[in-house]
Amino acid sequence: MKKIFINRNSQLRSGYKIFITFAAFFVLLIICTSITEVLYFAVKMFATGNNISSTQDYILQIQSDSLFSLMSHIVQTFCMIIAVYAFWRIFDKKPIRDLGFTNPLVHKKDFFIGLAFGAISISTVFIILKLTGQIEVSNGLFNPDLSIVLFSDLLLFIMVGISEELFSRGYCMTVLKQTGSPAAMVIISACIFSVIHSLNPNITIVGFINIFLVGVLFAFMFLKRGNLWLPIGYHITWNYFQGSVFGFQVSGLDIHGMYHVKLNSQNIINGGLFGPEGGIVTTFVLILSIIAIMLLNGSNNKKNTQVQ
């Protein structure tokens, strides 16, 4: 019976570690979001003198309040980081740098390459969709809609990139080293990444496959470089340029963009309401990106990603 939970090295099996950590994150998220919601709206009602007359009125205010939405998303990223750090210390008793979350100044080159790679990749998707007539930019390329939201969204996407990579690549892949299989590290972590996004609005089969391919791409980046900064950089600019610059949906979520993109039709090429991540143009770009990363020379320091 013990073998169901403990492997031959007397370690709690990786699947249980990942499940417990994610479950703890979910519980922590509910608690922290609820506290944030109550405090935020209590302060807002006190400051403005407004009264909420019904539950429906309260829900409508939550749905329409952009500042609360930003705050709740940032709370979510902090909850993910806290859960990963806490259970990595509880289960494995090692420093967080062993998850690949190393000193960014040491690996700043990887980070900046990731930023550039992500921006170029999603820009390539945008250009292909524009040239093939799949999309129109209603406010014109020389008339961007500049807003303070662009800066708050940048902060959000930085936090999302760090938290999701710390969990999906750093924690999951490092814990999965216990399996002794690099293939399992890549495939299972990519599957977990896809499942996490499967509840996003307007998800499609192609969208699910593309999220899986993104997970594979980031996994290879982690394995190749031995740290998280390359996938973190790519993750940040992929999301930011996709939503805040080009005005696409980001995995089905509406984001205020500099440009207002209009789909000429909703189809498998442009991804429809899920955004370009639901289209085959993105599939093509991701496959090319995976091949490029596989051809990349590995890191001189692979301490964090070698199978033990």
What pLDDT digit, counting tens, does each position of 14-63 carry? 999 999 999 999 999 999 999 998 888 888 777 766 666 555 566 666 65
Question: Tokens standing for 43?
Answer: 């302060």
More confident residue, 53 or 288: 288
The span from the CA of 292 to the CA of 52, in Å, is 55
How high is the pLDDT of residue 49? 66
Residue 308 has pLDDT above 50, yes or no: no
pLDDT at 57: 61
Q: What pLDDT score does 247 carry?
A: 93
Supply the pLDDT for residue 43.
82
**Which of 251, 221, 227 is CA-nearest to residue 106?**
227
DSSP 280: H
CB 155 within 8 A of CB 75: no
Q: Which spans in 132-178 are helix H?
A: 149-165, 172-175
Contact status, residue 52 vs residue 209, Cβ threshold 8 Å: no
CA atoms of 123 and 111, how far apart (whole Å) = 18
221 close to 111: Cβ distance less than 8 angstroms: no
Q: Is the pLDDT of residue 65 over 80?
A: no
pLDDT at position 304 over 60 = no
Q: Write out pLDDT tens, residues 253-268.
A: 888 899 999 999 999 9
Least confident of 14-23, 67-76, 85-94, 207-216: 67-76
CA–CA gap between residue 187 and residue 14 (Å, rounded): 14
Q: What is the reported pLDDT for 46?
A: 75
C-alpha 143 chain-centroid distance = 29
Whole-angstrom CA distances from 212 to 5, 119, 152, 247 are 27, 19, 28, 23
For 73-96, b/e burial (b = at least 16 CB within 10 A) is bbbbbebbbbbbbebbeebbeeeb
How many Å apart are CA 171 and CA 57, to the nearest integer? 40
The pLDDT score that the predictor gives to residue 40 is: 83
| pLDDT (average), residues 124-142 | 93
107/117 Cα distance (integer angstroms): 16
- 298, exposed or middle or buried, with CB in 10 Å at 0-12, 13-18, 19+? exposed
Using the predicted structure, report yes or no on whether residue 83 has a pLDDT greater than 60: yes
What mean pLDDT is predicted for residues 149-178? 95
Statement: residue 142 has pLDDT above 90: no
Q: 246: pLDDT confidence band, cut at 50, 70 and 90? A: very high
Mean pLDDT score of the chain, rounded to an integer?
Answer: 89
Stated pTM of the model: 0.90
Q: Do 222 and 100 meet the contact criterion of CB atoms below 8 Å apart? A: yes
